[in-house]
Structure 1
């Protein structure tokens, strides 16, 4: 494999890695990698992405490159940045060396909002969902507080344990306890509406959407694995609330 092919492979692999780690659909990852390769004359480039890894080759019988994806989150800003770099590459507005430097900067950057902003946003999301699901305004503040504390609990436990499901389980337990306390002290009225609104920031909506889109695009392995991940997250949330109800 000559130097040009090596550079193309590096750019394609890094672009795919950033997108997968940021929560992009696997078919979008493969499409981006293939477009970059085709723009440099590699019409037979082969790419295969799953939620946990990427395989790429510049040709059918060339050496295969593999990278493992061990940490995944949701960062739509990074996906947008990679898409922008990809479009510039295919439009001859960037050379490979410049694209590689820009992709490395995006990979190392921390573009997500500060955790305290995430907690505040989650709190308001929880309160608004309670109203949207038919709750009364008296439950807005209890849901806001429970949702914010629940999300902060998830972020905190996420640092202590490697398994995200445990963090979500403990967060939902905290939400259930707070909701019951609010209702029993008279601060809240409808227990079910408070809990439903407060757990919404934890619900894996993007994972469910991506799973369906991957399945519709024919990526059965990726679609099923993401679907199972979303189901496990939903189970962790439901189990946490159920545990609280089991002890009252």
Structure 2
């Protein structure tokens, strides 16, 4: 009886409901993975719509904001809202989902697409030690770019790695936001000031600037501008505010050290 009612609610040329639910799953989880890892909202909406329409599902409505995704397939009575709680900048997953969407457009079966999106979404991020290591290396590169002294290189690598360690370690186990940037920037500035005052370093300003660069929200700032240009004012404003608060938190942590010492 239920199957008969479902058939009456849908057009005569409608697809099998089990098939549509698979399409719904793939589109929704592709969007969720993109949004959790630093993609722009217009990219998320476009990817979800293209996937659904490629598999023959029309009349698809997608609403994406910084913290929520709503997907509706109106002809089949399917609709779901999901919260985006975790937001990272893992662009590798964004690239993988983009590549998956291209494979879908080129003819990937829905069953294979479902397995692929599960595999991508369950992929773990880089290990903590590797993220911390390259945080220090990135800080050293910024020191060279800012014409810093070679004497400041050891503390810059250490401070940059320490800042990344503090932010990544705390955020992997808690949902505290902005306080981690304040603490990381405070420790960076503290070690930089002490290093120079004990006569080992040359320029405390260059050390601090280079060391906090791995913490600067470059991806959110870029995405916020791209969202505003595209006309997604809600998402652009939210991302811009988040990036601005992060920058303020970094400045507050550095400023506190200069007030104390």
The two structures share one fold, judged by TM-score above 0.5: yes
Contact 1:15 1:82 in 2 (8 A): yes
TM-score normalised per structure 1: 0.94
Structure 1 position 43, deviation (Å): 3.5
Q: Which residue of 1 aligns with 2:180?
A: 167
Contact 2:196 2:203 in 1 (8 A): yes
Q: Which structure's CA Rg is the greater one?
A: 2
Q: Which runs of 5+ in 1 are unaligned?
A: none
Structure 1 position 159, deviation (Å): 4.1
Moved over 6 A (4+): none
Q: Which runs of 5+ in 2 are unaligned?
A: 1-5, 7-16
Contact 1:42 1:59 in 2 (8 A): no
Residue 100 (structure 1) aligned to one of 98, 114, 121: 114
Specify the SS of the correspondent of 2:178. helix
> C-alpha separation between the residues in 2 aligned to 1:138 and 1:128?
14
CA deviation vs aligned residue, 1:151-206 (integer Å, no higher than 9, x gap) = 11222332454222111110001001100111011111111100000000000000
Q: Which residue of 1 aligns with 2:82?
A: 67
35-44 or 226-235, which moves further after superposition? 35-44
Q: How many aligned residue pairs are there?
A: 246
Q: Does 1:15 align with 2:30?
A: yes
218-227 or 97-106, which moves further after superposition? 97-106
Q: Which residue of 2 aligns with 1:234?
A: 247
Residue 218 (structure 2) aligned to one of 177, 183, 205: 205
Structure 1 position 42, deviation (Å): 2.8
Q: Which residue of 1 aligns with 2:193?
A: 180
Structure-to-structure mapping, 1:37-52, within 5 angstroms:
37-52=52-67
Q: 1:65 to 1:163 in 2, by over 3 A?
A: same
> C-alpha separation between the residues in 2 aligned to 1:125 and 1:150?
12
Contact 1:142 1:187 in 2 (8 A): no
